[in-house]
A = this chain, B = another copy of it.
Amino acid sequence: MDIQTKIDLSRYKAIRSRTEEICKPLKREDYIPQPVVYISPPKWHLAHTTWFFEQFILKPGLRGYKEFDPDFGFLFNSYYNNVGERVLRAERGNLTRPEIDEVLAYREYVDRHIGEFFSNQEPEEKFNDLLELGLNHEQQHQELLITDLKYILGHNPVFPVYQEGGALLENGSSKGSWINFEETIFEVGFEGNGFCFDNELSKHRALVNAFSIRNSLVSNGEYIEFIESGGYKDFNLWLDEGWAWVNEEGIGSPLYWHKIGRKWNQFTLGGLREVNPDHILAHISYYEANAFASWKGLRLPTEYEWELASDQMKWGERWEWTQSAYLPYPGFKKAKGAVGEYNGKFMVNQMVLRGASVATSKDHSRKTYRNFFHPHLQWQYAGIRLVK
């Protein structure tokens, strides 16, 4: 992270309060469960993002700061081996205590002390960078909070509504025109004054062969064609591990889709609704994205192609699976200490997604951003862009 902007308290407050706003429509019961291991309970997101500021700013940086509760470091550390022991990831859903109220008090306590931290001093560069990282971390968790609470509600047999209206999914999809690129050399990766994660560094030259990329993402209607033509039953379209996944898990549609009679319905944050064929497809895995592209006789973009084309195409409504595995850029350097565990140690067995989604927080996307997930995961608002 090489950040030259100064954090001010009002931005801190705005981002922090957005997290609480997302939780407003939840019932208290919704804060607790962890139905699968890669989902975290909303309560855990509220506490963990707060722990980050306490651990990395207040404890080392605010003279006389007294931890809210010494147990919280153990309870709400996510995966930082450098910071000590922690609750097993799979046990997050069994933590009935601290209660929500206490977690909210924890947020309030830490926010108050961050205010004090600001009033005492102009934060030195190290803390400025860590604050910036903490805010971006909070925004990442806002996105996960939305997709995780959708999972929790969407797997309840009564399909509870999060928000009437819940326009999150209602994006139109323009018809696809193709944008053509000649072979070119360009510079990949982040450079500039703003914030970026370490995995976007360092900027380096790369050659991209000629390609054409579609301006619009794949629509629900296109995907229904794939399903109806037997796409989930033709092994020739699938990666070997994708085919095993389809069969072992009994997959036959995007996550949250339910065929009722002859109609496809989907669970949305506004409840169960009929699938609109014109809207942009979401909630598919890399395996599905790849099989769909094969069925079309096309392929997914590489992350370099995507970054090159990004200025000329519409993006930001779905995370887009690329054909690139998540690997370090040439010149990538892991930071020292706990912060070094942020990204680098996940660079195997995951695929890169580019773009942003309807669940992404404002000001939390840029064309160099590299998201990454295991190829079987469907719970993000991930979609498909085609290349030929």
Contact = CB atoms under 8 A, between A and B. Distances in A.
Interface of A: 27-33, 35, 43, 71, 74-75, 79, 81-82, 87, 91, 93-100, 152-153, 155-158, 160, 183, 185, 204-207, 209, 211, 235-236, 238-243, 286-287, 290, 299, 302, 323-325, 327-328, 330-331, 340-341, 345-349, 351, 375
B345 A240 contact: yes
A194 to B, nearest CB: 24
Contacts of A96: 27, 29-30, 32-33, 152-153, 156, 160
Contacts of A331: 209
Contacts of A28: 28-29, 99
8 contacts: A91-B155, A96-B153, A97-B156, A98-B158, A209-B330, A286-B348, A325-B325, A348-B351
A159 B152 CA distance: 26
Nearest to A351: B348
Contacts of A79: 240
A28 to B, nearest CB: 5
Given A94-B156, A205-B209, 14 more contacts: A27-B96, A27-B99, A29-B31, A29-B43, A29-B100, A30-B97, A35-B94, A74-B157, A75-B158, A81-B235, A209-B330, A239-B346, A286-B348, A349-B375
A205 to B, nearest CB: 6
Given A28-B28, A28-B29, A158 B240 contact: no
Nearest to A159: B97
A210 to B, nearest CB: 9
Q: What are the 10 A-B residue pairs with the smallest beta carbon separation, nearest first?
A: A325-B325, A207-B207, A29-B96, A32-B32, A35-B94, A240-B345, A81-B235, A30-B96, A33-B94, A209-B330
B95 A93 contact: no
Contacts of A238: 345
Contacts of A27: 96-97, 99
Contacts of A91: 35, 155
Contacts of A98: 158
A90 B224 CA distance: 32
B325 A327 contact: yes
A151 to B, nearest CB: 10
Nearest to A211: B330
A241 B326 CA distance: 14
A290 to B, nearest CB: 8
Contact of A242 (B235, B286, B324, B348): B348
B31 A347 contact: no
Residue among A95, A242, A348 with the most chain B CB within 10 A? A348
Contacts of A97: 27, 29-30, 153, 156, 158, 160
Given A29-B28, A325-B325, A348-B242, A157 B94 contact: no
A324 B327 contact: yes
Contacts of A30: 96-97
A323 B349 CA distance: 12
A349 B94 CA distance: 29
A208 B375 CA distance: 27
A33 B100 contact: no
A352 to B, nearest CB: 10
B240 A346 contact: yes
